[in-house]
Structure 1
Amino acid sequence: MDDSALVRRLVTTALQADAEISVVGVAVNGRDGVEQVKALDPDLVVLDIEMPEMDGLTALDRIREDRPRLPVIMFSTLTARGARQTLDALGRGASDYLAKPSGAGSLGASIAAVRDELVPKIKALVGARRVAGLPSARPAPVTQPVRRRLVRTAPDALLIGCSTGGPDALAQVLSQLPAAFGLPIAVVQHMPPVFTGMLAQRLDGVSALRVREAAEGDVMEPGQVLVAPGDRHLRLRRVGAKVSVRLTEEPPENFCRPAVDVLFRSALEVYGGNVIAVILTGMGQDGLRGTEALAARGAQVLAQDQASSVVWGMPGAVVGAGLANEVLALPAIPARLRGLAEG
């Protein structure tokens, strides 16, 4: 649902090009959209934030009253205002978001850009919902941990990777860690520029830890969380006795920049296997190869379970490869981290 005829046409054309997707309704404003959701019972909603009569945030609240588990993807502008509104929407229960095309280039290029980003999100979210809703569905079997030597000393750092559903998952985890948490923390959340800075501010507001967007040369310190900035890889490097941040514009990995794999590989060079690696909810397999390298050196690997994940792509890949020492529901992760941090 969107108040712009051009955007409605763009999104509809992009989705109808996929044989597995049917557009069952197109709304011109939030009020119309809420009524269509009730009448048409769709599998997923794409919702603009700024609309007349009823804005997207209000429409999301109304939809959630009747359909608390219906996947909703927010359509947002790449601006500070758009980032703030998108994070508000994610906090209110939106499943994911998509940045609107910048306007540069042809209509065909814009349609292709929306199709390439939106279609995989739709399939991942609808697929996850259908699996969870099947009467016979059960949590995926947990692969037994690989028999390998674990580092038994107190870890040197905590590394977290996430994507779809990550902002809310991060808020739940970080809000339960004390100010005296003894490890430095580095986070890769797949998000564009501006959004990651806003995310860091919000996480700082709900956590006793110091949370901020990473900058070149930042030092990893206990009780501090550094969030990789959008469109930059976050690497760790040792400078004397300290470990600092290096931000790079190297090519994307796993179609992502920042990428979890980049952070994890660099952490291996600095800390060896003496880290805790956590893979939270997210689409795709970013983090799998980096986790594999860390696990081979004895790192402790935690993965979020399927039932509590918005999309079980990233943690599911780690579990399926037998790399996770523990597969935990999201609410159980903070307490486990507190225990592991003490060695």
Structure 2
Amino acid sequence: MSLEILVVDDSALLRRVECDIINSDNKFKVTDTCKDGLEALEKLRTKKYDGVVLDINMPRMDGLELLQQLQKEKIKANIVMASTLTVEGADEAIKSLELGAIDFVTKPSNIIEAKGDAFKKALLDVLYAATKARVHFKKPSLTPAADKTA
């Protein structure tokens, strides 16, 4: 049985490329796509996915805003950021991880590279790890334990 993936990207061409890459691996199946964070939020409110591939720059609601809203509504999702902005050490990459994304992959800036083997391998590797990451993951509590002396 394939893992169900949601792809969120405002570029129809890149959505198609990402879907083709993901669907090329029999471990995964893209079951839904969205063109912005608002559409994705509606989907994530009603359906669970094994993984979500999320862009940052999108109209109406960007990827970081979606991550914030998911935290606010306590909606859990295994999210991989795929954006030209998510490069190691970039503010956007760090912020996405702070907001609950599991990992990120840098999306190539042109379609030729996006269709290349390097991006395909990176996306599938990160997606595979992300879909496995939270099997036994429990977010640590940031509040101190209640005093048990009474």
- 1:43 aligns with one of 43, 50, 60: 50
> Does the aligned pair in 1 maintain the 2:9–2:15 contact within 8 Å?
yes
Alignment CA distance shift 1:54-1:106 (3 Å): closer
Show CA shifts across 1:92-113 (max 9, x none): 221111101131746642xx33
**Identity rate, percent:** 34
Name the structure 1 match of 2:143.
none
Q: CA deviation at 1:79?
A: 7.9
Q: CA deviation at 1:32?
A: 0.3
- 2:133 aligns with one of 128, 131, 137: 128
Structure 1 residue ranges without an equivalent (≥5): 134-306, 309-343
Amino acid at match of 1:66: K
- 1:62 aligns with one of 64, 69, 88: 69
Q: CA deviation at 1:10?
A: 1.0
> Does the aligned pair in 2 maintain the 1:101–1:113 contact within 8 Å?
no
> Does the aligned pair in 1 maintain the 2:9–2:55 contact within 8 Å?
yes
C-alpha separation in 1, matches of 2:80 and 2:86: 17
Name the structure 1 match of 2:124.
119
> Does the aligned pair in 1 maintain the 2:67–2:96 contact within 8 Å?
yes
Structure with the bigger RCO (C-alpha within 8 Å, sep 6+) is: 2
Alignment CA distance shift 1:40-1:91 (3 Å): same
| Count of residues in correspondence between the two structures | 131
Matched, 1:76 2:83: yes
Amino acid at match of 1:117: A
C-alpha separation in 1, matches of 2:113 and 2:122: 17
> Does the aligned pair in 2 maintain the 1:74–1:97 contact within 8 Å?
yes
Q: TM-score, normalised by structure 2?
A: 0.75
> Does the aligned pair in 2 maintain the 1:77–1:83 contact within 8 Å?
no
Q: TM-score, normalised by structure 1?
A: 0.35
Alignment CA distance shift 1:78-1:67 (3 Å): closer
Structure 2 residue ranges without an equivalent (≥5): 1-7, 140-150
C-alpha separation in 1, matches of 2:93 and 2:109: 16
Alignment CA distance shift 1:35-1:78 (3 Å): closer
Show CA shifts across 1:59-118 (max 9, x none): 1112233324x21111221588x9222221112221111101131746642xx3332011
Say which one has the larger Rg: 1
> Does the aligned pair in 2 maintain the 1:60–1:89 contact within 8 Å?
yes
> Does the aligned pair in 1 maintain the 2:86–2:92 contact within 8 Å?
no
Query: C-alpha root-mean-square deviation of aligned residues, in Å?
Result: 2.6
